[in-house]
Amino acid sequence: MTGFGRKSLVWLLSSLLPSLTAGAQPSAPSPVAAPMRPLTWGQLNFLQTTDTHGWHAGHLQEPQYSADWGDYISFANRMREKADKEGRDLLLIDTGDRIEGNGLYDASNPKGQYTYDIFGQQDIDIICTGNHELYQADAAAREYTNTVPNFPGKYIASNLDYINPKTGEQIPMAQRYRKFTTKNQGIRVVAFGFLFDFSGNANNTVVQPVEKTIQEQWFQDAIREDTDMFIVIGHVTLHGPEYKALYKAIRGRNWDTPIQFFGGHSHIRDVAKYDANAYGLQAGRYMETIGWASLDGIRIKGKQLEKTSESASLSFTRRYIDNNLLGYYYHTGLDESSFPTEHGTNVSASIRDARKTLGLDHNYGCAPKDFWLNRAPFPSNDSLFTWLQDSVLPELVHLPERKGVPRIALTNTGAMRFDIFKGAFTRDTTYIVSPFISKFVYIKDVPYVSASQLLRLINNGGPVFEAAGLQKSQLTSPEHIAIKSDIIPEPEVYNPGPQSPLGGLSTPDLVPGYTTKDELGDDGDDTVHSPLTFYRVPNCIESRIEFPEKTPEKVDLVFIDFITPWVLAALTFTGEKYTKGDVLPYLKDGFTELLAEWIKQNWGQDC
């Protein structure tokens, strides 16, 4: 383990700054210089992406994450060149959830018309599926017909099958595992690619629980292969039961063979040390983070260990690289003229063209200020949810034929996916903030005494939902926000786990951003940031609309269709007898379109 303290921090020279036009999207802001921690190289090195969710154009309102997928292609190429020159190996990993959450994917019809080709340009060595690829049958089909063939021999589906729509035949989504030897070091690898025990998939795929897959003969044979190391990638959290089971199964057969895990799904920067020869890395979300891991001390059959790596056990290092050009220049030792590759520049150009064709920069209106999901307390004027509750829902939730009927409108906070920044709210922003295809539904004339209890029940009533087999955490969904909601003490400011402040380091002029504290310490981020404070938000919020002075006897209960099971379970608890049959469509347009319409009506065009 190499730890870099304050002494080895290097301020990037601002002289690097002038023009960054070589890469990134034309409207991307220039990154801001910050103190950096270098990468440590080993025999075997990795770059990981996960949960990119269509953000392949980079972040156009956040300089720290403003590099695009083309820049990442240049970066990977330059890093491979360096590895080749030094006789080391570099592998690229992607652990799924490449789709849903950004206009580049969501705004086309069919969705992803441009993103599969753009994503497929990166040379990824081991790639697997996330849950988001499987919610919609058409997305799962595109995964099978586009992404799998884009990564022949590299795509792994250890516990995932696809159902051929023509024959109805159930076949592996891709090969179950992959055996290969690294290019420069000749390290023999057995690699797997898993998805967590997910059950919300459309009916054209079959996800097998990990525990069951472990018992299959092919897996039992694979863990008995004569190999120098195992690599387990997955859309799986590092500390969840699935990786515990896989670790146990592999380690049970191979007492000291290195095992390297890569995780995803919970959108955090995270690391795990399972034992002295087994580690895991998870590279955040939304193209904010490129994960770096390096391994030294791998014993390669038939080869002497190099002098530098004679230690008995493996040495592992990790970095969470902020995705911007300044960082890429720093880590490659190159500059704006020597860094970009023709391939990377071409891909940046295709992203620009796709964004243009899709009209993603089309401005619906100008946000007068920032609205935060978790960076402001709820309720408060800076909270996106307060804005939604007080300003947006009362105007949206309105059905002419039920005019004048008092109503309670409920939505889960997980329905909102990202902060709104002051400035242009574009077509792209609508998909970023609200990528789900949820619609409002309602139950007519619900007794107020019952309807008025629902918010409290849904926000607090664990047992109500456990009985119905529902998990409260799905409503805020740790998957939708970059924090671990299950560890948050209520209701104050909380320490957001891995993203907590970097203790003791208080340099002025730092850019606010990730200050990750993980199992290996607080030196994982490649860029030193000032910490951000996150606040807990409730599972659901409600607006009371057209309420009379006197408490009404009955109200229309309007809610986002996604939360129907929770609403029905809570109503049952209050003594009401409603079923799915009582839930009627309310508004024809989806929430995303309604929100865009509200913005057009309420926010000016001059940013």
Nearest approach in angstroms of CB 151 to ligand NAG is: 18
Nearest approach in angstroms of CB 198 to Zn ion is: 12
Binding partner of residue 97 among Zn ion, ligand NAG, none, CB under 5 to 8 Å per kind? Zn ion
Nearest approach in angstroms of CB 491 to Zn ion is: 26
Those residues whose C-beta lies under 8 Å from the C-beta of residue 311, and which sit 6 or more positions away, are: 296, 297
Task: From 62-70, 257-265, 341-349, 538-546, give the range in contact with ligand NAG by CB under 6 A.
Answer: 341-349
Binding partner of residue 19 among Zn ion, ligand NAG, none, CB under 5 to 8 Å per kind? none
Q: Which is nearer to ligand NAG, 353 or 589 (CB)?
A: 353
Q: Which is nearer to ligand NAG, 273 or 343 (CB)?
A: 343
- Residues 350-409 interacting with ligand NAG (rule: CB under 6 A): 381
Q: Which is nearer to ligand NAG, 342 or 490 (CB)?
A: 342
CB 270 within 8 A of CB 518: yes
Cross-strand bridge partners of residue 411: 541
CB 293 within 8 A of CB 45: yes
Candidates 343, 375, 444, 554: give the one binding ligand NAG (CB under 6 A). 343
Judged by DSSP in three states, 518 sits in strand
Candidates 7, 166, 252, 342: give the one binding ligand NAG (CB under 6 A). 342
Candidates 346, 350, 363, 530: give the one binding ligand NAG (CB under 6 A). 346
Nearest approach in angstroms of CB 232 to ligand NAG is: 31
Q: Name the residue with tokens 């796709």.
A: 354
Nearest approach in angstroms of CB 340 to ligand NAG is: 11
Binding of ligand NAG by 136 (CB under 6 A): no
Rounded to whole angstroms, how far apart are CA atoms 45 and 98? 22
Nearest approach in angstroms of CB 532 to ligand NAG is: 20
CB 576 within 8 A of CB 410: no
Residue 445 CB: number of other CB atoms within 10 A?
15
Look at the chain and count its residues: 607
Q: For residue 525, which of 374, 327, 267, 259 has the smallest C-alpha distance?
A: 327
Q: Name the residue with tokens 């086309």.
A: 108
**If 0-12 CB within 10 Å is exposed, 13-18 middle and 19+ buried, where does residue 503 land?**
exposed
Rounded to whole angstroms, how far apart are CA atoms 231 and 406? 57
Q: Which is nearer to Zn ion, 51 or 242 (CB)?
A: 51
Candidates 19, 167, 199, 203: give the one binding ligand NAG (CB under 6 A). 203
- Residues 211-250 interacting with ligand NAG (rule: CB under 6 A): none
In whole angstroms, how far apart are CA 583 and each of 85, 444, 560? Answer: 64, 8, 11
- Residues 260-299 interacting with ligand NAG (rule: CB under 6 A): none
Rounded to whole angstroms, how far apart are CA atoms 324 and 529? 14
Q: How many residues bind ligand NAG (CB under 6 A)?
A: 5
Binding partner of residue 109 among Zn ion, ligand NAG, none, CB under 5 to 8 Å per kind? none
Rounded to whole angstroms, how far apart are CA atoms 561 and 436? 11
Interface residues with ligand NAG (CB under 6 A)?
203, 342-343, 346, 381
